[in-house]
Structure 1
Amino acid sequence: MEHSSLDLYRVFYACAKTGSLTKAAGQLHVTQPAVSHSIKQLENIMGGALFSRASKGVTLTKEGNVLLEYIEQAFQIISLGEKKIAEMRQLLAGEVRIGAGDTLCRYILLPSLEAFYRKHPGIKLKVTNRTTLESVELLKKRKIDFALVNLPLDDIQLEVQKVVDVHDCFIAGPRFEHLQGRKISLNELLSSPLILLEQGSNSRLYVDQYIEQKGYKIVPEIELGSLDLLVEFARIGLGVSCIIREFVDRNQTTVFEIDLKDPIPPREIGIVKLKNIPLSEAAQMFVSTFSLV
């Protein structure tokens, strides 16, 4: 059918509901001849009369009644769609799909999720728990809207927005008190049993690359999957753990931070989205109000 078929159906629907070409023209803000022309076009497309014309107006033929039944349903669905879009733009409905790893989800994303949900309870929040690199793959497959990731991340397909700086550091428990209260070289640090995050995360990669740039090879005794376990293993003296300073309350533990002569430079946590792909109203609002609580 022609690209203007929807307009013809609008004219048909107005005529059917008002029973008058004149009233339909007034409702649609067009002339009566324009309405008559549209009805004739639609009847030509359908291959027969849709209205019986009389001096007092028009009535639907049998075929016209059948068509009205479907057209009425179609316009109701269109109206519901328009209402849904309006609700989404007013943040009364919609969905935000986020990718984030365990640590970032707990210490950065969770407070923002709670605040956003309280303000916009109609928005569905879906969080997919993956590493930074896995989140980027989900983003490229359009399975999430944006991801909270460990930076740096060099990818020309992505748009990056910094959220906060973080610092990787080493902690230990009382067993390693000989490392406390003085500057420690990387060489001395690496002679201790090391406890690190599992390979595959951007956090682990950043630390590995820094150590290698200093001319050393890092060989951990233990690899773990969570920040909490890194802290607990250090606390009971199983080794020296590499953690993120901002995410550990050392006042609640017996661990201490090791003072390195060459501390690991700070890095960034950020939000990434696909370039040139607009976010939904809800996702834009979430990103714009994102904060470290």
Structure 2
Amino acid sequence: MDINFELYKIFYITAKLGSISKAAKELFTSQPAVSQSIKLLEGKLGGQLFYRTPKGVCLTVEGEVLFKYIEQGYGLMQTAERKFLELKNLNIGQVRIAVCSALCKHYLMKYLEEYNLNYPNIKIYIKDMASHEILKSLNSGEIDIGIFNMHIETNSSIEIVKTFKIQDCFVVGDKYKDITKEQIDLKKLIDNYPILLLGKGGNTREYLDNYFTSNGVTVVPQMELSNMELLIESAKKGFGVSNVIKDYVQKELEEKELYEVSIKEKIPERSLGIAIKKDIPMSTATQKFIEVIKK
């Protein structure tokens, strides 16, 4: 049955106010227009909805039943409109981001702080994921923004909104700082010193393994750790030579807590990308986060 929803709105307002004249005033229309709409609805439904009383109109039994259902639907539509406006005005909302934990602390955090300061009512959900998983989650719509290594293959549905470079390096603490006085061959470093790396499964480790292979060396790490912070602390404690992202240890290098090892076979820079899904409309909250990142 094809019935104009405007007729149900007129029916709902009339029933709620119990008066055709009051309904006309509420709807900014005339009493005859309200009466005509009610008659039209009754005709389409095939039954009477109101009967007149000295004080206005009352619902029939059938009208009472219809009103109970229309009231629920009308209330939901009003709630939907209110929620829509709240989302557009950034009074509520969410942003779902996937990134590796090291990048979150050392790169993403500055954007998170600025965004939270400007839009404190928006919830931010962050997942720690490998680059391949991030790309998969972007494609499925499970996340709004992904930050991943650009050496993985993307597709035409992914839009890169910003890229940045990072440089991997080897660092040591006081125990092994003598090896930082001159350049050293990668093979000599690997063969003579304990090497500390991130565990297998992530893109950083995959990138390093490709670097080792391309330079003809095989690495059996002394330790395989779960995150960059543990690598940094382990190097400070003298456990061995840690591979870290240089930007993340600037403070430690400046304060002589760590020392960079100069390798003849320099590790190539990596490109990281901040990406969204092209064919999924962005929420206002996500759009504002992208604006913060692009500054």
Give the TM-score of the pair, scaled to structure 1: 0.85
Deviations 1:170-203 (A, max 9, x none): 1122333342132222222322321111111111
Deviates more, 1:57-66 or 1:127-136: 57-66
Deviation at 1:205, TM superposition (A): 1.4
Q: Secondary structure at the match of 2:276?
A: strand
Deviation at 1:23, TM superposition (A): 5.9
Q: Kindly indicate whether residue 285 of structure 2 is the aligned counterpart of residue 282 of structure 1.
A: yes
- Equivalent of 1:265 in 256, 268, 271: 268
Deviations 1:127-170 (A, max 9, x none): 22233333333334433222222333322143223343211011
Q: Secondary structure at the match of 1:278?
A: coil
Deviation at 1:30, TM superposition (A): 8.6
Query: Which segments of structure 1 move beyond 6 Å, counting only runs of 4 or more?
Result: 54-57
Deviations 1:196-247 (A, max 9, x none): 1111111111122223223333332221111121122222332211100011
Q: Which amino acid aligns with 2:185?
A: S
Q: Does the CA contact (< 8 Å) of 1:91 and 1:282 recur in 2?
A: yes
Distance 1:171 1:138 in 2: 34
Q: 1:137 to 1:253 in 2, by over 3 A?
A: farther
Distance 1:159 1:50 in 2: 55
Q: Over the residues paired in the alignment, what is the CA RMSD in angstroms?
A: 2.9
Q: Secondary structure at the match of 2:197?
A: strand
Q: Kindly indicate whether residue 80 of structure 2 is the aligned counterpart of residue 81 of structure 1.
A: yes
Distance 1:110 1:288 in 2: 15
Q: 1:101 to 1:216 in 2, by over 3 A?
A: same
Corresponding residue of 2:108: 109
Q: Does the CA contact (< 8 Å) of 1:25 and 1:32 recur in 2?
A: no
Corresponding residue of 1:196: 197
Q: Does the CA contact (< 8 Å) of 1:151 and 1:202 recur in 2?
A: no
Deviates more, 1:69-78 or 1:236-245: 69-78
Give the TM-score of the pair, scaled to structure 2: 0.85
Distance 1:54 1:230 in 2: 82
Q: Which runs of 5+ in 2 are unaligned?
A: none
Corresponding residue of 1:46: 45
Distance 2:31 2:278 in 1: 47
Q: Which amino acid aligns with 2:261?
A: I
Deviation at 1:56, TM superposition (A): 9.5
Equivalenced residues, count = 290
Q: Secondary structure at the match of 1:223?
A: strand
Q: 1:141 to 1:30 in 2, by over 3 A?
A: farther
Identity of matched residues, %: 34
Corresponding residue of 1:170: 170
Deviates more, 1:90-99 or 1:186-195: 186-195
